[in-house]
């Protein structure tokens, strides 16, 4: 279900946003929707405390791993050896 959002802007700010929308050949409403979408993607999701708790729990474990230089060398050696288009 769609919802209406009302935002009050000062005239200069409104005109600036209107110019930005016109420059991209889109409606003011579409420009605002896209700006809000970009802003939402920049916001961190979830509780920072919970994320830290998960990381602290994970580092208590000891998992087998290889030498980082060897792993990077193996990755580099694999580039270009797969099927070519």
Entry pTM: 0.52
- Output the pLDDT for position 82: 65
- Output the pLDDT for position 48: 85
Q: What is the pLDDT along the chain (85 residues), one digit of tens a residue?
A: 989 999 999 999 999 999 999 999 999 999 999 999 999 888 877 788 888 999 899 888 887 788 999 999 988 888 877 666 5
Q: What's the sign of the alpha-carbon dihedral 62, 67, 70, 75?
A: positive
Least Cα distance to 2 among 33, 31, 43 occurs for: 33
């Amino acid at each position: 279900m769609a919802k209406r959002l009302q935002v009050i802007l000062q005239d200069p700010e409104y005109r600036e946003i209107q110019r930005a929308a016109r420059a991209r050949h889109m409606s003011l409403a579409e420009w605002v929707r896209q700006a809000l979408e970009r802003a939402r993607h920049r916001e961190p999701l979830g509780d920072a405390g919970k994320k830290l708790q998960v990381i602290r729990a994970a580092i208590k474990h000891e998992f087998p791993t290889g030498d980082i230089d060897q792993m990077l060398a193996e990755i580099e050696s694999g580039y270009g050896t797969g099927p070519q288009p």
